[in-house]
Structure formats: C-alpha cells, structure tokens
Structure 1
C-alpha cells in the first residue's frame, strides 16, 4: 500500500493518505506534501473534507428515526415539508427516493458550481438549506419520482430538513448526537459556517488555480449533502460500526443495502442504496461512498461485513482538463484503491471494462469560464 500511495503522489497529486484495516490489523500511511505552498509533509491523521461521504452519516440518522417509528421510508416528503415541496411533487417523492437518488429532483450543485468564478465565490457566501432546495427544484427534473437513479445533492438537503422537522433539533447536531459522538469520532465534525478546518489538516488544491489552498472555504453550500470533515481512521471506524450492525437494527440495515442500479444499462457496475453504494471489485462487492469537494477527494470502501476496509484521501481535485484519455492520477488512484480493498489483485483493465467502476477524481465536473 505504501508503494501505491507513492505512485499516486508521483502521478501528480501533492499528497495521498490512507488507512487500511484487515480484521484486527491496521495500517496507515501517507505520501507527499499536505500543503504545496509550505511543503509540509502529509500524515495519515490529517483532517480532510470528505464531501458526499456525509450522506452515509445522514442516511444512518434517518434510518434510526425510521427504526424508532418516527418517520417512514415511504412517507411523501410533502407530508413533512409541505411548504418546500408542495403539491403533486411533494406527494409523489418519498423519503426513500431522496436517500437513493430516485426522486427526479435536480442537483442544485450543477447550478451553484457552474463556473470558475462561482467556485471561488461560493466559498465566501452563506446559504440556508432552503436556498439550496429552491435551486434544486428550479432545475429541470431528471425523471419522474422513482423512475431511475440520478444523483442529487438536493435530496440530502431535504433529508437534513426532514431530520430537523422530525426531531426538532439541528440536523448536524442530531447526526453528531446519534452517530459521531457515540462512536468517539474525535476528528469528525460539521464545520457549519466556519470556513476553517480545525486542527491539523490537509491543504485543498484546486488544479485550475495552481497552488492556491482552498482548505479555508465556506461549506454552507453543502450542509447535510457534503459538509463533513473527518479522517481515514474515523471513516473506517464509522463504516465498521455501520456494516457491523452497531448503528442500525437488521431491518433498517437491510433497507440501506437495498439498491437501485447506478447505470440502468450496466446494473453489474454498481448499485446505490440509502446513503451507501456497492461496487464490483476483483474480490467481490465492496460497500461505502466517495466524496469530492474543491481541492479534496476521498473514497471509503469496505467488505460487506467491514472485515477488510480502506479509506483513501488526496488533496487535489479538477486536474482532468478534458483529455479523452484516463489521467495518470486516475490510473494510480484506481490501483491504490484496489490495493487497499483487494490485496494481491491487479488493477488492470479487462476486456469487459475496469475491475472497479469507481467515480475517478479526474471525472469531477469542470466549471466553465
């Protein structure tokens, strides 16, 4: 794994850092520099924005409320948030559809982070969750409710507002009380309106703007869809508890693992459940999530029982500039992921396609202008 991280760094990423667990054994390591401006060396325990991995924490919280009989997965969201999602749409879109991305509601970040100027300005702006939902609802629908998978951050902002409606508490505080606190995840937290990453942390390098560090960057635009800060070790602890049955009763964990195809034309390429997905690998299905924000990328993948785990992070994003070929960083990243989740397996492409259909860091949408 050390060689795999070094290869990611050598391919052009300032730093790569990871933790791998195999039963009771644990390995962590890093390669490269955390901050291009200072040359500060990377460490595996640096705090890092984990983006959409936030969704696993939020979905877990919603499913705990389901287990307590406080909300139903097939409740229409309009029953709980009639002012935000009124009328027929509110009656047709269910809580389940929000969590498995089949609601058909547009993805607000497609509009919010559309240009380079917006990428810069969003980090200094303050958004309310209601602002974000309205942006998503103003976009063309991606399909009829329940029709098909189409990734939408808007659904997870609505999930956060649902948590608040059901519990009467701030959504991020409720996730912290139910999940982060009980697991003792000392390096995992929601920053809220604070643009800084508290404590030792990695830089966040946005390739289109060179060495500029976006670690100080307001995240109110992400909230319960992608605001969380964590470390590879804390992520492994969380997913081991989740998939090991410590956070959800069996019925709700089974619902979480009930998936829809992420690509209807290739259902074997992976399925999305409720805040988690599975991907095919050379050693079978692996479960977890990935996250990408401005300047930082994370993936956390685990055996179904979390006996083998890997969480990997890098501090560079948006380096793919429209080249038709796979970027060398992506090739090295894929190899590192396979090395982590399937020791001894090769990350070579077979005739049927890649052995791991992971969203690669270079595939993040590029802002225009």
Structure 2
C-alpha cells in the first residue's frame, strides 16, 4: 500500500516516459465504458503486468475471483517491487510482514495480516476464504495456517531491503516520498528517507458479469512491528458488492480505515454516483475529517461498477491506474486529484 506522518510533497523531480504504455497524454481515453466486460483494472503502473496475468483467465471465460488472485501474484513475486510481496521493505525491526485480502461476487472474503515468511499472501487469503469459517487470520496464526496448507517458508528480506533498512537505522527519520510506487516518476532517494510503501488493488468483471477484487501489500516501510494498514481490511482497502460494483484503495491506510473508504465508494455508487464521482466523494470525506493531514499525504481510490465503467480519484497528483479489456490490454491512466497545487 504509507505513513500518516509528514510526506515530502516536493519529492517528485520529474516524469519519465513509459515507452511500452499508451497514456492519456497520447490520446483520450474515456473513464466510463458501458457494457465493457470482461475487464480488469488495478492500481499503479505495476498493475499493467498484473492485469495481463488476470486477463489470461478472463479471456478464456474464467472467473473474476481466479483472475484477481493470479493477477496480483505477479507483483507479489517481483523482487524489484519494494511495495508488494517478497520484494517489500521491512519494518523497523528488519522483518518483512505482508497483508492481503480477497473478495468474490457472493460476498465471500478472506484476509491475512502481518504474515511473515510467505511470498504470496493473496493465495493464503484465498484459502482463508475457501477453507475456513473466518475472514481474517493474523501473525503467527496466519503463518501456521499457510504452512499447514503447503506454502513454503522463506526469508523475504532481500539484499536491497536489508540495505535500505540499515540505511534507515542511521537516523530513523520518517520522511516518506509520495508516489514512489509509480515508476512514471523519478524520485530522489536521500539517505534516511522513508521509502513509501503501497498497494496493488485489483478489480475484475468477468464474462458472466460477476465482480471480484484483491488487494496485497508489504505495508509501510520501517513501520512499527505489527502495524496493519487498510489493505487486508474488508471495507477499507477493498470491497465488492456484485449488485453494484467494487472499490479498492491505495495510500495512507490509517486514513482509509477511518472512513471505511472502499465500502463508502461502493455505497455511493449504489446511490447513483459514477465510479469517479464516488471516489472523489470518498477523498473529500478524508479532507473534511483530517484537513491538516490530508494536504500532505496521498490516498487514492479506484472503482469499477457492474456496467464495466471505471474511474478513480486521489488526494494528490501522481496516482495512476491500469486497465485491460478486449480492446486494449495495457492502458495506464493518470487519476484525477483534489489538490491542484
């Protein structure tokens, strides 16, 4: 998925082109598409590769729940992705802990929080949903469950993660950089800076018209051991209602939890809001509740409704999301945002 403490708002030093992706800078892409199914959308530019894995399931008539699980496993396995999965940076004790949740079209859901030693928390969350009467398992209990179900225990701390942690220990300062998860932006990494951690949230609508979602993260870099953000919390980091649509979030998890953000977005869509307008209203709710915090942090929401229409809205410039459907498999769209300066 970010710290609620002061963010460096001037950490963005430029934008670099992505040669393999067409964006809104090259042509106009409507954020509403009626009757578009199957379709998969996800947060950030690493969502492009994740979407393509999900699309392999959807294009064959597969279920949305299988698509989102397979999709987010891609960034979970990417050692170059410092915000998700086994490439994620550790907490302040040098321990990598992972969070994830998943939800299907029937309202079934599963979640794991503060999970250690398992590279694919989304698949453990899927088994919590499929094999237990519970919704969430945490910490040692989640690890025990994973091992009992055949998952391999491994050391998730990468050499890069260990190096960053040891550098952070020199000063132990929290100076997060917004939008570092978006490779479209070149960001200066100063010694001791908090490397912003974030999330991949994914939503899919399959050919049968059913919705599902998944969300997975390694959480805030150098967080307090045991800290859990919004990503594994149903209703905060992810929510799906098959009658209406689904929503997911990215950014400062504490503020998303305080507004039950993804549930709020879905309920606004139920009232007739478009996906983007629902996301915008949820962002404005954060601004209203915590104006002094909101101006210095990033939170973004992404939504997909039952018609296949999609949209997003964030606090700050820099959030982007990926879209994949029959007509195009590698769209990357900059999200709309609240603070214009």
Same fold (TM over 0.5): no
Higher strand share goes to which structure? Answer: 2
Superposition TM-score, scaled by structure 1 size: 0.28
Name the structure where helix makes up a greater proportion of residues: 1
